[in-house]
Amino acid sequence: MGLALAAATGAVLGHIFDSGHFALISALPTLFYGLAWGLLLRDKSTLGKSGIRKGWVASIPLAMANGALSSALLLCTERPAGELLERFLGGAVLGATFGALIWVPALILTLVLFGIPIAWSQRLAEQGLAGEERGERVVGATSAAIGLVAAGLAPSIPIHFNAPPERLAVEQIGVWLVFGLSLLSLLVGGASTLLATHRASRRKQFVSAVEDGSVSGYRIDTDAEGKVLVRIASAGEGYRVADVEEEVAALDEAGEVVAPLERRYL
């Protein structure tokens, strides 16, 4: 996710501002904040008893800080005159305030493309067999798609060949950095999608085995949001049903249960 955000930010802003230098300045902070953002969006904790996720709330100052740092670095490198600290602080204020024209839409788009699939899959996983790999497949595929688009845009980011040698080197580094991040996003996102798909396939095999009676001690209930695993504990002629919070068992390639895991039940 962080790679995709950095690649997209560098490619898009590099074209908007016609500068490989701007691509570099915007991609580096986004890479740092994007990696942290990915961890926050996977945090399941909420504010008090509300359903509001802490990671979503923390996304606002994180996006603001990203805009502030990018603007501060840009101002420090674009204007040789003046005190460095003054330029850095002034750029940070501009990025956090007027920069909202950029970071607010980016924040919304990130939550839609990454935050919602992650939260949705985690909520289903808490109910049983609907695993988190559903959301990870969406996130991985989205990252790969963004990386592919950014890789196509990166080579055409403008480079000012008549600029001083130092500035020319910075612009070339910016273009190559965005292109490299794009390829990494494509590869990592694709690998994540394949891995999540493989995990989903193994889980599906296990569900099928439970449904056709090949695996005893469990049953599958179906509701509007998917299938839920129910562990059956014999109590005379009845059942004691518990909600599963973790994966049920390790499976082999054929979908057989090879190592039942320690369970926790509500």
pLDDT band at 236 (very low <50, low <70, confident <90, very high): very low
Is the pLDDT reported for residue 141 higher than 50? yes
pLDDT of residue 127: 56
The total number of residues shown for the chain amounts to: 266
pLDDT of residue 147: 93
Q: Which residues pair with 227 in a beta bridge?
A: 222
Nearest-10 Cα torsion for 144, 149, 150, 155: 130
pLDDT of residue 228: 63
pLDDT of residue 186: 95
Instruction: Provide the token pair at 7.
Output: 């690649």
Q: Where do we find the tokens 């750029």?
A: 91
**Which one has a higher pLDDT value, 227 or 197?**
197
One-letter amino acid of 177: L
pLDDT of residue 234: 55
E strands in 65-200: none
Phi, psi of 134 (to 5 degrees): -60, -50
Instruction: Provide the token pair at 265.
Output: 């039940």
pLDDT of residue 156: 93
pTM of the model: 0.74
Answer positive or negative: Cα dihedral of 93, 95, 96, 100: positive
Task: Express each pLDDT in 78-136 by its tens digit.
Answer: 765 567 788 888 889 999 898 888 889 989 998 888 888 888 777 766 655 456 677 78
Residues 6 or more apart in contact with residue 181 via CB below 8 angstroms: 3, 6, 7, 10, 27, 31, 147, 150
pLDDT of residue 84: 79
pLDDT of residue 246: 40
Looking only at the bridges linking them, the beta strands covering 233-235 and 226-231 are unpaired
Q: What angle do CA 75, 77, 83 make, to 5 degrees?
A: 70
Neighbours of 183 (CB within 10 A): 17
* Mean of per-residue pLDDT scores for the chain: 79
**Which one has a higher pLDDT value, 4 or 259?**
4
pLDDT of residue 241: 47
- Which of the residue ranges 66-70, 118-122, 182-186, 261-265 would you say has the lowest mean pLDDT? 261-265
Answer positive or negative: Cα dihedral of 209, 212, 214, 219: positive
Task: Express each pLDDT in 39-60 by its tens digit.
Answer: 888 888 888 877 788 888 889 9
